[in-house]
Every structure is written in C-alpha cells, then in structure tokens.
Chains A and B, each alone.
Chain A
Amino acid sequence: MPYKGSDILDRELKKGSAELLILSLVEDRPRHGYEIGNLIEQRSGGLLRFNVASLYPLLYRLEKRGWIQGRWVEKAGQRRRRYYRLTPEGKKILAAQRNSWRDFVEAMNLITGIEIA
C-alpha cells in the first residue's frame, strides 16, 4: 500500500513554499503568470508545478497584500499581458521569508541528518 502521507507532505510543502517561489521569480524583473508557472516547473526539474487554478489565486493574494503589483502591458503585435513586479514591501517580505526558509532547512538538516550536496 502506498504511503499517503507523502502526498499530503508534498502538498503542504508546496503550499508553504509557493509565496517564496513567486516572490523570488519576480525579484529581478516583472513576469506574467504563465511565465512564472513555467519557470517554477523548469527550475524545479518538474518537481513543482502550479497550474492555473492554484497559481492565479496565489498571485492575486500576494497582489492584494501589496507584495507584488500587476500591470497590463501591451507590446506591438501581441495581446496585452498582465506582468507582476515585486513591490518594496514585497522585497522586505522576500528577504524575511528567505531567512526563515534557510533557518527551517538548517533545522531540518540538523534533525533528520539530510545533507544537501
């Protein structure tokens, strides 16, 4: 019988890290939703994947909190797209979340003995 707790753990880990992932990806430059979703999948080697139903509610929530800001951008010959950029407040949150995540990972390593190469 497969271990079901693993699915729950994966889902919870994904939920817990989603904000940090999105904030990190819009740190350097504004990106649209599809690009953010693709980058998460590519950079995680396919381990993490957010589809439309889970990604956009998250983006809107972060926007509502004032951590990212969405803006419709029209480019010649293309449909207008909504690009999200990191706000100054989002930058502070990102820094704080990075620290928390680092501490958490270190604590987990100390307890579980997992070493990251």
Chain B
Amino acid sequence: MPDWKPEIRVRLRGSRLTATREAEIVEELSQHLDDRYECLLSDGSSADEAHRTVVLELTEGELLANELSRGERMAPTHSVVTGLPLKGGRRNVVVDFWQDLRYGLRMLVKNPGFTAVAVIALALGIGANTAIFSVVNTVLLRPLPYKDPERLVMVFEDSSKHGFPRDVPTAANYLDWRDQNQVFESMAAIAGACDGFVRNIVKTANLSTFEPDNRDLRRL
C-alpha cells in the first residue's frame, strides 16, 4: 500500500492548521485514500493506474488546502460580532471576553504602527487627565483644611460707588465688624500672600477656631 501521508502533507501546506489538527486530518485522509486505492484495484485497475487516480483526486483543483483553511476559519454559520451574544441565546461571558481580548491583542501585534500611535495617544491622554485632575482636586474638590470648612465665608466691603463691589476693609472697619458681630461665630482678617494669610489669621483670631487641621500652604 502506498504511503499517502507525504502527498497529503504537501497539499495541506498553507492551510494554517495546528500540528495536532494536521496529524488528525492526515491520518483520516490517508485511510480514505487507502480505501479508494483498494477499491480501484478490486475494480481491475493496475497499481499504477490506481495510484495515479487517487493522487489526481487528491490534487483536484488544489481544493484541499484552500477549503480546509476556509473551513477552519469560517465555520460559524453566521457572522460573529465580538462582544455580542451568540445566535440562539447561547453565551459565555468569560469565553467571549477571553476571545475578544485575544483578538484585540492579535490585531495590535499585527499593526505595530497603529499600536504605537494608540499607546502614545493613551499615555498623553492619561497624563494630561491626571495633571488636570490634580489641579482641580487641589483647588476645587478637596475641602479647605479647617474644621467645618463649609461654614467658612468671606466678607467684603461694598465700595461699588468707587468701582469696587468687593473691596478690602480697613483695619478699623474690620475691628468694628468683629466687635459688633452678631451673625458669625467668629471673625478673622486675612491679608498678604500665602504664608501671610496664615500668620494674619493667627494674629487676628483665636487659634482654636482658625487653626488649620493640616497646614497645607500650597492650598492657602
């Protein structure tokens, strides 16, 4: 009996099968060709004729590798959309996710240019977002480092007639406000730069009310 396996392996070149799958197919096709060869011999063909016929059938239209390759890739009867449930309601979230992940990675490896641009864009985006969030968090979101910060208010002097609706009061006015205050629990004046802010509060108010819980000078 001729050994058909080398002939079959040649025909399977380019079908991109796994080694195990290819071995299975080679074994199965080899058996088929054995049967066919015996059948031709029993029908009266000579060994040469039978061999020729069998090889011819195997090579017909170079169909095998193309068809096998297509069959292995295109088995689903409907188009598969990644992330969507299978037709008929069958669904395995973990399997689908793993499949999508592997597909995504394969595509990234296949397109290194696109991958590089995507990674750079993501890195820049994440970096910019982090920087902006740091500022917003420090300036807007995180409360001031005082006890009950929501109860803090800032009071200005109204000098609209001079063009300053939010004017800074003189020291004498501040002292009057403080002495005659019936609205606020306590009052303090602020002036100057960051470090001056703290110093002036400390100078003009009692410490228990206006001492920051955590003196973070970057935020004052």
Check: B60 CB closer than 8 A to any chain A CB: yes
Please indicate the chain B residues that have their CB under 8 angstroms from the CB of A65 in the complex.
75-77
The reply to whether B32 and A56 contact each other, CB–CB distance below 8 Å, is: yes
Chain A residues contacting B57 (CB-CB under 8 Å) are 51-53
The answer to whether A52 and B58 touch across the interface, beta carbons within 8 angstroms, is: yes
Interface range, A side: 10 to 19
Question: Which residues of A are found within 8 Å of B219, using beta-carbon distances?
Answer: none
Q: Is A98 an interface residue (CB 8 A)?
A: no
User: Could you say which residues of chain B place their CB within 8 Å of the CB of A56?
Assistant: 25, 28-29, 32, 64, 68
Interface bracket on B: 20 to 34
Report the nearest B residue to A55, measured CB to CB.
B32
Q: Does B72 contact A (CB under 8 A)?
A: yes
Query: Beta-carbon contacts of A18-40 to B below 8 Å, as 1s and 0s?
Result: 00000000000000111001000
The answer to whether B36 has its CB under 8 Å from any CB of chain A is yes
The verdict on A60 contacting B31 (CB below 8 Å), with A53-B59, A53-B64 known, is no
Q: Taking CB as reference atom, which chain B residue is nearest A35?
A: B35
- 24 residue pairs of the A-B complex, CB under 8 angstroms, read A33-B28, A34-B32, A37-B32, A51-B58, A51-B60, A52-B32, A52-B36, A52-B57, A52-B58, A53-B59, A53-B61, A53-B63, A53-B67, A54-B67, A56-B25, A56-B32, A57-B63, A57-B64, A57-B67, A57-B70, A58-B67, A61-B71, A64-B76, A82-B24
Closest 5 CB pairs of A and B: A64-B75, A57-B67, A61-B71, A51-B57, A53-B63
